[in-house]
Structure 1
């Protein structure tokens, strides 16, 4: 049991270190030696858990997808008034906050293209896209969006914004922030929501402050 727990801790530490290096350097430039060294284990120990660099990247992507699912499920369980558009807004804040703090989630968004070329699914962005699309379609049916808004197109904008903040966050932690996301929603919401059902947008990271749009 002790050996299994130690192996699990090592595996999780390697995933975190890999997320940091993949996010900072990109998949091609990422060094397995650097990753194992950051954890304080040998290259052999890394290869015991992840035989190839691609296996490691796939595990990071899978872990990131699990963390994203946890975020959206938490938001669904704590859904408040405001409908599906509000739920997308609330979840986007949770995702962006985690992107700023969690290198595994950040790397998961950025590894999508690499994993697709390798026969993977790009599952983190795909998962986020499907969830946002489903909610925005529901919002459209409920009259929460303007009639001329295409839910799938709006979802693509939200996903592109999220992935863009993840990429920009490699160089400047300001980008994946509540302030940046608030600016996006303050600009976007008046263009897409029905006037009779205005959602609210958290302003500059203060949970208690909201602005009617």
Structure 2
């Protein structure tokens, strides 16, 4: 049991170290030596857990997908209409992209053309946003807009913040996301609920 726990801690340390190096250097430049050194383990220990750099990148993406899933499921079943829950989740996503290197690196890896990224995390976020907007439509809180068109716009903006935030963290700030929703909510929300919606997501906290 102790050996298994130690192996799990080593694997988690390697995933975090890989995310840090991928985030800093990019997948193509990142070296296994730099990753193992940052994790405080030997190259042999790294290869015991991961066959190669691609396998490490896959594990970083998987860990990021699990984090993204926790972000969105945290808002399932909570009070408020689906449009407010979408606002709240987008704030949480931006905050964790700024703070959590594994989540940030996972998004970067999912669009990395060198390793043939399949946009997995972006697709995961798009699917959840689309489902949330369909629920909002069913609740009668959307104005005369289609959930599909809104989903594309929201995903384009929020993932755009993620890309821009790699160079300037202000794109992932609470104020940036709030301003986005202040502009968009009057176009999306039915007049009967617009006054109850909070662009800064404060009612989710």
TM-score by length of 2: 0.89
Report if the CA contact (8 A) 2:91-2:174 is conserved: yes
Task: Indicate whether 1:174 and 2:170 are aligned.
Answer: yes
- The corresponding residue for 2:79 is 80
Question: Judging changes above 3 Å, is the alpha-carbon distance between structure 1 residues 160 and 30 closer, same or farther for their aligned structure 2 residues?
Answer: farther
Question: Judging changes above 3 Å, is the alpha-carbon distance between structure 1 residues 127 and 114 closer, same or farther for their aligned structure 2 residues?
Answer: same
- The corresponding residue for 1:53 is 53
Structure having the higher helix fraction is 2
Question: Judging changes above 3 Å, is the alpha-carbon distance between structure 1 residues 49 and 209 closer, same or farther for their aligned structure 2 residues?
Answer: closer
Deviation string 1:45-85 (CA, Å, 9 cap, x unpaired) is: 112111111111111111111111111111114x222x111
> What SS does the aligned partner of 2:199 have?
strand
Displacement of 1:11 after TM fit?
Answer: 0.9
For residues 144-163 of structure 1, what are the structure 2 equivalents within 5 Å? Answer: 144-147=141-144, 149-163=145-159
Unaligned runs of 5+ in 1: none
For residues 61-76 of structure 1, what are the structure 2 equivalents within 5 Å? Answer: 61-76=61-76
Unaligned runs of 5+ in 2: none
Question: Judging changes above 3 Å, is the alpha-carbon distance between structure 1 residues 53 and 39 closer, same or farther for their aligned structure 2 residues?
Answer: same
Deviation string 1:63-113 (CA, Å, 9 cap, x unpaired) is: 111111111111114x222x1111100111111111111111111112112
Distance 1:107 1:173 in 2: 14
CA RMSD of aligned residues (A): 2.3
Question: Judging changes above 3 Å, is the alpha-carbon distance between structure 1 residues 153 and 19 closer, same or farther for their aligned structure 2 residues?
Answer: farther
1:184 to 172, 180, 183: 180
For residues 1-213 of structure 1, what are the structure 2 equivalents within 5 Å? Answer: 1-77=1-77, 79-81=78-80, 83-114=81-112, 118=116, 121-147=118-144, 149-198=145-194, 199-202=197-200, 207=202
TM-score by length of 1: 0.86
Question: Judging changes above 3 Å, is the alpha-carbon distance between structure 1 residues 167 and 31 closer, same or farther for their aligned structure 2 residues?
Answer: farther
